[in-house]
Structure 1
């Protein structure tokens, strides 16, 4: 049977924000105990005193250390390549269908024969396919996919792209978390996140370009 300390540790480990807050010593244990109280009582199926939760949180606080993981992530980010920005993008989402692959094939042929400054990215999920492209190419997408069921279309987007360090072999778990956490704390709405082996793009609203660029630039040069 799980102990109170083990249950609390599970709940803390489910939330990197809480884990980091405890490691930094900025968490109010009484407030956190009140927040965790209903979930803990549900797991034990009996009454648990909030005071006991507070004491358990204080005892486990010294065991939570997120600094080493964050230092590795920061070091990795410093070795990333230049930050590239592209604006005037459109995000389409279409429901998957037997005919969608054919339309996507025709679209990729057009992309291949288009100018090199065209931004285009696509990904296929279990139920939908996402296409992000330059605004100048949006009409081509609509034309090729007019028979498909469009789930959404978002205008006025931008992409901030960074290259990962190919020659830098150090493992750095938590890199994406560190980047997305910084954007979340600064109220940047990430519309999409696209990644390949050595490159990733953050799709944001166009008016957030300067703020996002500054945040990533500061992380890279800190």
Structure 2
């Protein structure tokens, strides 16, 4: 049997931004109840009082704060080392039949110097390569026959090591990227492995991005 509480919860869970705002107590519940009332009534097939929806939202916001935000903050307090690298260049190439061969050659060059930065990711149609700018000429030479759709310079990377339990707690990345978005941080790239992720940002924003991530440990 559907209840007002269950229908309201189902509605909120389909809207992550709204769910986050509720858990932080920054939404006027009375105003929200008026907005969502038509959909709640349609789902239940009957008239519903605003007060009943407000009470359901209040219970849900308290519950969300404990079940979601509390678990996320517990993980974020255990963030490991945060590594910053500067003087990076971000190349984007269209995928081709020869691009992996060229990437293999690049890896051989990277292996000659352990101090340089290198990371790469591949999508369906694009291959992305981020390297120390000392390797710019090497990349441009090896990939001269490839189609470069974008080259961005003056970038920095921030690599964050997450505790192992990050894979079992939903919302970790959403919570982090939400904070970065609130600070107006533009992410050129996001590259992740199981227990760490790297973001690529403009040199001018790296200090703010670093502080934003570091401060998560103290929430």
TM-score range, shorter chain: 0.7 to 0.9
* SS of residue paired to 2:121: strand
Is the aligned partner of 1:16 residue 2:16? yes
- Residues 117 and 105 of structure 1, relative CA distance in 2, 3 Å threshold: same
Deviation at 1:205, TM superposition (A): 1.1
CA contact (8 A) 1:4 1:53 kept: no
Which structure has more helix as a fraction of its residues?
2
**Which stretches in structure 1 are left out of the alignment for 5+ residues?**
none
Q: 1:103 to 1:192 in 2, by over 3 A?
A: same
Partner of 1:101: 100
Q: Secondary structure at the match of 2:23?
A: helix
Verify the 8 A CA contact 1:121 1:132 in the aligned structure 2: yes
- Preserved contact between residue 29 and residue 57 of structure 2 (Cα < 8 Å): no
Q: CA deviation at 1:10?
A: 4.7
**1:186-214 C-alpha deviation (Å, 9 max, x unpaired):** 11112211111222111111111111111
Cα deviation digits, residues 50-104 of structure 1 (max 9, x gap): x978964653442243323222222222222221111111111111111111111
Q: Which residue of 1 aligns with 2:122?
A: 124
Aligned to 1:134: 132
TM-score by length of 2: 0.81
**Which residues of structure 2 form unaligned runs of 5+?**
none
Q: Which runs of 4+ in 1 moved over 3 A?
A: 2-11, 28-38, 51-61, 168-171
- Choose from 198, 203, 212 the match for 2:200: 203
Greater shift, 15-24 or 61-70, is seen at 61-70
Residues 163 and 199 of structure 1 are in contact (CA less than 8 Å); yes or no, is this contact kept in structure 2?
yes
User: Structure 2 vs 1, CA of residues 125 and 7 (structure 1 numbering), >3 Å: closer, same or farther?
Assistant: farther
Report which stretch shifted further, 71-80 or 170-179: 170-179
Q: Give the C-alpha shift of residue 184 in structure 1.
A: 1.1
The answer for the alignment partner of 1:177 in structure 2 is: 174
Q: Contact 1:160–1:203 (CA<8 Å) still a contact in 2?
A: yes
Distance change (3 Å), C-alpha of 1:19 and 1:54: farther
State the secondary structure of the residue aligned to 1:22. helix
Per the alignment, residue 163 of structure 1 pairs with 161
- Tell me the TM-score normalised to structure 1 length: 0.80
Aligned residues: 214
